[in-house]
Every structure is written in C-alpha cells, then in structure tokens.
Amino acid sequence: MPLPELDLMSPLPGELVEIAHAKVNLALHVRERRDDGYHALESLFVFVRDGDVLAGRVTDDGQVSLALDGPFGRALGAGADNLVVKAACALRDHLGGKHGAALRLTKNLPVASGIGGGSADAGAALRLLNRLWGAGLSPTELERVGLTLGSDVPACVSSVTQMVRGRGEVLEQREIEGLAGRPMLLVNPGVAVSTARVFQGWDRTDRGPLVADSLDEVIDEGRNDLESAAIAVAPVVAEVLAMLGRQSGARLARMSGSGATCFALFDDEDHRKAAAEVVRTTRPHWWVMETEIGGA
C-alpha cells in the first residue's frame, strides 16, 4: 500500500519539507550541438505552484534512504538511480562528511513528461538537505552540485523564472510582467517520452535566438524546437496541443521540454477551469493539473 500523502502543514517530528515545483519551458530554442556533445539551448523556465513533495529527517547511520508514495510513486525506484538519492549522495560527498537522511517523496508529477519532475526532485533534495544538514551552502554552490546530476537541475535549485542557456549552466533570473500568478493548465496524455530519442529526431535546424523580454514576445516569437520530433515519437502530443489551442481564453498552447506534457496559458482562472473540464470530460485518462506560475 502507498504511504499516506504528506500534509505540508504537519510534517512528522524532525522532518523538513520542500516542494519540488514543476518546471515548464515557456519556450525552448535548440541552437547547435556543442563540442562536448550537449546541445546549446536557450529556454525560458517558469515554475508552477504545484509539484512533488519531499520530506526528510536526519539519521545517524550515515545512510540515505528514500520512500515513495503519491499517484506516480510506483513508476519510480527508490534505489541509487533515483535522482533524489543521487542528489543526496552528491551533496554528502561535496561536504566530505558522513551525513545521513531518511527521505520520502510524494510523486504527484508524471515521470518522463517534460516538466522536470526528476530534476525538480533533485533540486528540492539539495535545498532540503542543505537545511537539514546545516551545510549553509549558497544557491550558486548548490547549482554547481546540481549540474553534475543533470542539465535542468541547477535551475530547479532556485525554482524561479529564468533564462537558461548552454547545457543549463548559464542562468539569468527574469521578471516578466504578466507571468507571476498567471493561470496555467498542464496536460499529459499518459505517454512517457525519451528525451534522448526526441533530441535524436531534432532536424538540426537553428531557427534563431530566443527573445524573452515580454510575455508577448514569448507568445508570438518563442517556440519549442522539439515539438515536431516529439510528435514523431508520440503523435498524441499533436492532439493535446490542438485541444488546448481550441480552448476559449487560451493565450498560448505549447509543449514543455521534450514532452509529452503540454500547457496552456490563460488570463483568468475561469477560462482555465472550463478548459480543464473539457479535457477531463473528453479525455478522462489524461493527466490534468490546474495551477499557476510562481514568482520570479
């Protein structure tokens, strides 16, 4: 049986809690393949109010353990390959100590879905353990540790709106008028998409830089260069985008990351709620989350 979901207001004795906020790429431009094999990216990351929930307490055995629950907990293993465990071990090694922790993750976000679930979990683990172990590392130091775990992890450490370049190591916090608090609908058709396979299908065409000084620029000139490759892998992505784009009040419908999760931005909660109801009624097996963008 899965563990009961964590009440954020009532952590267990000795526990600290962090939300692993879902990451959404409002735009994702793929520019070129670098000499080190990574793709040079330009992306505007935003983080929504909701996400996975990570709790942890100190243990004196020097070991890191992880328990999983939540709607998607069974889709993951809790062993050494889990990014939460990897983050804990990386931070412990960085500190040169023998710190231990018992961690539990409530997995609310679908796996391999383009909204940074694993990376967000790793970022939350670094934040939580930095507090739990009294390490006192700066956000920049945590980002350096995070980069060893994955390209999206450094941005997930701070989980604020930011331009991300390179392979994820160049971060620039942004305040864009009209973003904070904006209603967003996330939809995943229940298909896990391989990031590596999507990048392999990218057409290698550089369509130009990302300009993201205003919301209108992101909507009118931004794009996700991986959409076509993701649709080739999972054609249902095109169906999700079309459905979202038809909803009344949708300012933007686009895929996040390498898919298969797509999103729509709305000016108000009523239009978002109505759109969510349409998706839930017509595609009851799809995952739907009503949320809003966090602050810068």
Residue of 158, 177, 182, 178 whose CA lies nearest to 168 = 158
Per-residue pLDDT of the chain (296 residues; tens, 9 = 90+): 233 444 454 577 789 999 999 999 999 999 877 777 677 899 999 999 999 999 999 999 999 999 999 999 999 999 999 999 999 999 999 999 889 999 999 999 999 999 999 999 999 999 999 999 999 999 999 999 999 999 999 999 999 999 999 888 899 999 999 999 999 999 999 998 999 999 999 999 999 999 999 999 999 999 999 999 999 999 999 999 999 999 999 999 999 999 999 999 999 999 999 999 999 999 999 999 999 999 76
Residue 68: CB atoms within 10 Å = 21
CA–CA gap between residue 114 and residue 240 (Å, rounded): 14
Q: Classify strands 287-292 and 100-106 as parallel, antiparallel or unpaired.
A: unpaired
pLDDT tens by residue, 23-39: 999 999 998 777 776 77
pTM (predicted TM-score)? 0.93
Q: Domain 183-292: what homologous superfamily? A: GHMP kinase, C-terminal domain (3.30.70.890)
The pLDDT of residue 153: 96
**Tokens 């942004």 belong to residue:** 174
Amino acid at 234: A
The pLDDT of residue 93: 95
The pLDDT of residue 119: 96
Q: Which residues are catalytic?
A: 23, 152
Give, in order, the Cα–Cα distances in Å from 229 to each of 112, 139, 247, 258, 287. Answer: 15, 34, 24, 9, 22
The pLDDT of residue 245: 98
Instruction: Assess whether the region 16-173 and the region 183-292 belong to the same CATH fold.
Output: no
Residue 44: CB atoms within 10 Å = 24
Kind plus residue range of the DSSP H or E element containing 16: strand 16-33
The pLDDT of residue 284: 98
Q: Where are the domains of the chain?
A: 16-173, 183-292
CA–CA gap between residue 153 and residue 23 (Å, rounded): 10
**Tokens 């396979």 belong to residue:** 197
CA–CA gap between residue 23 and residue 264 (Å, rounded): 14
Give, in order, the Cα–Cα distances in Å from 122 to each of 6, 98, 103, 211, 224. Answer: 18, 19, 12, 29, 24
The pLDDT of residue 296: 65
CA–CA gap between residue 90 and residue 229 (Å, rounded): 33
Q: For domain 16-173, give its CATH number from 3.30.230.10, 3.90.50.10, 3.40.640.10, 3.40.50.300.
A: 3.30.230.10
